[in-house]
Amino acid sequence: MSRKIIPFVVAFVLICLVMVVAGVFAFSGAVTAEKFGSATTWSQSYSAAESMKAIDLTGDGQDDLFIQNSSNVTVFDGSGNTQFSFDYSSPKTTLGDVNGDGTDDIVVYYVGTGMSVDIISKGQRTTIAQTLNIGFPARAAVIRFPSGPEIVLADNGGGLLALSTEGKVLWRATLGSEESRGLDDAVINGQKYLAASNHDGALAVLDEKGNIVWQNNPGQIRRMRAFDLNGDGTGEIITGGEDGQLIVWNAADGAEEFSRSLGQPVSEVREVELNGEPSTREFVVGGKDGGVWAYSFDGTTANQLWSGSMSDKVTEIAGLDVNGDGKEEAVLGDDSGEVAIFTENGSRNNLPTHSSGITRIDIGKFNGARQVVIADGSSVEVNTVNFSSLPGFQYTPLIVGVIISAVILLIAAILASIPPKPAMKVSFQDKSRESLEAERRMLKENIADVERLRQAGEVTGDAYLARLKSLRADLAENEAAFKAQGFPITVETFKCPNCGGTLQLGMDKCEYCGQVILS
């Protein structure tokens, strides 16, 4: 093939490769230019929220913002105006319709006259229990057991206490000896049960009378949540350990359905419908060192979708369909104040950073718009999150591919235009008979010279053989030149069948490679 053609052939192959890759990127939709932004609708000062929820607490059909910290419970309306606010000592709260009026109420478990419980319904506070025989408040939950709702309180020493909606003690139980790290309703065959866990690793499912359905101890638990991930009417309990162990348990019998070591303590677990496919449920896990993992649960086990990272301990996770594609994005906050949105494929998009660590994030509909509520160390902020993308950006790989192809073609053209390097072994040879004969004589003289030098010990070993080989090769070329010109010549050389070196006729062993020559 011509030397000028080769660069173009190589260029053609490369261009094809580049354009195929560009086409794959362009038509698979893998390349997009998207951004998420946020604008603050309103904000209020509120220090270190421990619990926060966007929910209708006034019965007007509009979401309000419930928020609680270590000394206060407040509800703002959708515009940020305070609806009501109560101060408490070390309160722990939960939400649920306790009085059956169709509107969620706030249940407050706090240190008052002994350990007390208040119900705040539409701004009206009622104390339903005092001097309860339970320890310092850790968690509270309203569980809708088949027999009716119960208020379950968990203290920091492993104690559990269930109250009726009127404040009557129903049952008491002890689970481990450290503070509660999870109190949630677990579904078994469509019926609600209580899932409870403690920091010392105690994990149990209890029925409406406080009887333990099953229990286990996988080691120190940092976070516990219960979801029905496969929609079969029996839920799954997810625990995240101090040792980084993430386990999905079957709520009915405590069978371990999935387990994975994440290498860092699990600080938060939330369900987020990442792929918009209702037959599979996804959950996002945050780690104490900033690790983020998304899993999809297919009914029997979980598969990791992607992993990412935040800058610091993940403190909160929430799901929000920002771009209206039917798939939720995961909104994560960390202890350094960073807020980021992770999309279905795990790409991270940052929202404005807060000056103090994020404590809570929730999604709500305020004044008719879906908004993200972010609470940090000093304030609570309601943000409208928006999404924008550059139209047609997915075809940019084709443009880039064309640019690269043009450059490849240009390089090929330049390289083809450069003349080949001349050979550096050149023979200036006159083909006349006299000249060829003179050359032949000289070569024979030179061979004799080399032999003489070897005998004198001036040249030995490889140098002698190399020079001899070169001279004999020249002699063979001289013979070939004689033949080509049609001059008679007595051939005196032959080629070694093994190494190709030129030898004198009559030799029975190659001097260069040692091959015995039989012919």
Partner 1 sequence: MGTILCFIGVGVILFFVLFFMTRRKPPAKDAAAKKDYTPVFLTLADKPDNILRGMDKLVADVQRTETAGDRWWWMPLLIYISGFGLMLVDGLLDALGYFSFIFTAGGIALWIAAFVMAFSLRKSRAQAFSPRYANTKSILYTLRDDLRPSTTFLGHLDLTGAMLPTKVAREANDAQNRTTQYFRDEWLNLKAKLYDGNVLRVSAIQRIKQRKSYWKRSRISGKMKMKPPKLKGSDQQLKVRIAVNPGVYKIVPNKEFRQGQNIGKYTLAALTTEGGIIDFVASSPFDEVEPEHILNVLHSAYSLLQRKAA
- Judged by the rule CB under 8 A, the positions of this chain that interact with partner 1 are 18, 25, 31, 33-35, 37, 347, 349, 389-390, 393, 396-397, 400-401, 403-404, 407-408, 410-411, 414-415, 417-422, 424-430, 432, 434-436, 438-439, 442, 445-446, 457-463, 466-467, 474
Give the closest residue to 133 by CA, choosing from 96, 169, 166.
169
User: How far is residue 309's CA from residue 287's CA, in Å, rounded to a whole number?
Assistant: 9
Please give the Cα distance from 381 to 133 (Å, whole number): 38
Least distance (Å) from partner 1 to the CB of residue 372? 17
Q: Which is nearer to partner 1, 3 or 209 (CB)?
A: 3
Q: How far is the CB of 373 from partner 1 (least distance, A)?
A: 22
Give the length of the chain: 519
CB nearer to partner 1: give 207 or 437.
437
The DSSP code for 509 is B
CB atoms within 10 A of CB 324: 8
Q: Which is nearer to partner 1, 144 or 467 (CB)?
A: 467
Instruction: State residue 438 phi and psi, 5-degree precision.
Output: -65, -40
Q: Compute the least distance from the CB of residue 333 to partner 1, in Å.
A: 19
Q: How far is the CB of 65 from partner 1 (least distance, A)?
A: 28
Of 515, 493, 497, 516, nearest to 506 by C-alpha is 493
Burial of 460 (0-12, 13-18, 19+ CB in 10 A): exposed
CA distance 243 to 230: 27
Judged by CB, which is closer to partner 1: 175, or 310?
A: 310
Q: Which residue, 67 or 412, has its beta carbon nearer to partner 1? A: 412
Residue 516 beta carbon to partner 1: minimum distance, rounded to whole angstroms? 24
| 8 Å CB contact between 466 and 459 | no
| Least Å from the CB of residue 465 to partner 1 | 8
Residue 499 CB, shortest distance to partner 1, in Å, is 15
> How many Cβ atoms from other residues are within 10 Å of residue 270's Cβ?
22
Please report, for residues 98, 246, 369, the alpha-carbon distance to residue 267 in angstroms, rounded to integers and kept in the order given. Answer: 30, 11, 30
Tell the smallest beta-carbon distance from residue 56 to partner 1 (Å): 34
Q: How far apart are CA 279 and CA 232, in angstroms?
A: 10
**3-state SS, residue 483:** helix
Nearer to partner 1, 10 or 48 (CB): 10
Q: Which is nearer to partner 1, 427 or 490 (CB)?
A: 427
CA atoms within 13 A on the CB side of 518: 0
Q: How far is Cα 298 from Cα 107, in angstroms, rounded to an integer?
A: 35
Minimum gap (Å) between residue 57 Cβ and partner 1: 36
User: Across the strands, what pairs with 360?
Assistant: 375
Tell me whether residue 52 or residue 322 sits nearer to partner 1 (CB atom): 322
Q: Where are the alpha helices (DSSP H) in 29-179?
A: none
Residue 334: name the closest of 394, 267, 405 by CA: 267
Q: Which is nearer to partner 1, 21 or 169 (CB)?
A: 21
d(C-alpha 442, C-alpha 3), whole Å: 38
State in angstroms the smallest separation of the CB of 442 from partner 1. 4
CB of 441 to partner 1, least distance (A): 8
Residue 341 near residue 293 (C-beta atoms within 8 A): no
Taking the complex as a whole, the smallest distance from the CB of residue 168 to partner 1 amounts, in Å, to 56
Nearer to partner 1, 348 or 495 (CB): 348
**Which residues have CB under 8 Å from 468's CB, separation 6+?**
447, 450, 511
Nearer to partner 1, 34 or 289 (CB): 34
User: Measured from the CB atom, is 112 or 397 closer to partner 1?
Assistant: 397
DSSP per-residue string spanning 137-192: EEEEEEEEETTEEEEEEEETTSEEEEE-TTS-EEEEEE--SS-EEEEEEEEETTEE
SS3 of residue 307 by DSSP: strand
The residue among 442 and 484 lying less far from partner 1, judged by its C-beta, is 442
- Pairing verdict, β 281-287 and 34-45: unpaired
Q: Pairing relation of β-strands 314-320 and 221-227?
A: unpaired
Nearer to partner 1, 434 or 508 (CB): 434
User: Distance between CA atoms of 73 and 87, rounded to whole angstroms?
Assistant: 6
Rounded to a whole number of angstroms, the minimum distance from the CB of residue 472 to partner 1 is 14
Nearest approach in angstroms of CB 393 to partner 1 is 7
The rounded distance, in Å, linking the Cα atoms of 314 and 308 is: 11
